[in-house]
Amino acid sequence: MEIVSITVPVVKLRPEALLPVYGTASSAGADLSACLDEDVVICSGCYAMIPTGLSIQLPTGYEAQVRPRSGLAAKHGLTVLNSPGTIDADYRGEVCVLLINHGKQDVRIHHGDRIAQMIIARCEQASFTETISLDATERGSGGFGSTGV
């Protein structure tokens, strides 16, 4: 399968900011790195907004999803609080990552640490039409846990 590539303009808001980078040729997510003047300690049970020092310009019809890095979650209990975070195509501010520490130990974030991954994805807007009923289905209104164990 051929990987489709688009160009996303990136502005370094600080010269020491690191561009997103894919770990391998087949990686879905590009690693985002912390851009910090000094370390940030995220205490157990707490969260912090970590800047990347970057802003991006996505094409219309695309979004960027900010997702956790599995290694940080497995080793430290650190994850993206609003996962996946969405960056809209018309957003031009700094890309920041909202990290939460679910681990038992405090975690120190250093400048340049890879803190999350960013997935670029196509997205569509829907037209919502008010109606008085919906088509019946086997599941119906069964919600959480209604389709099995």
Q: What is the pLDDT of residue 148?
A: 66
Q: How many domains is the chain partitioned into structurally? A: 1
In a domain, 60, yes or no: yes
**Assigned domain for 33 exists:** yes
63 burial (CB, 10 Å; 0-12 / 13-18 / 19+) is middle
- Asked whether residue 38 is domain-assigned, the answer is yes
Q: What is the CATH number of the domain that holds 82?
A: 2.70.40.10
pLDDT band of 149, cuts 50, 70, 90: low
Domain membership flag for residue 49: yes
The predicted pLDDT at position 5 comes to: 85
Quick one: pLDDT at residue 140?
79
Say how far apart CA 81 and CA 4 lie, in whole Å.
29
Give the mean model confidence (pLDDT) for residues 3-20. 94
Residue 148 in domain = no
51-106 residue pLDDT tens: 999 999 999 999 999 999 999 999 999 999 999 999 999 999 999 999 999 999 99
For residue 29, give its domain range: 10-122
Residue 144 has pLDDT above 90, yes or no: no
Q: 67 lies in a domain?
A: yes
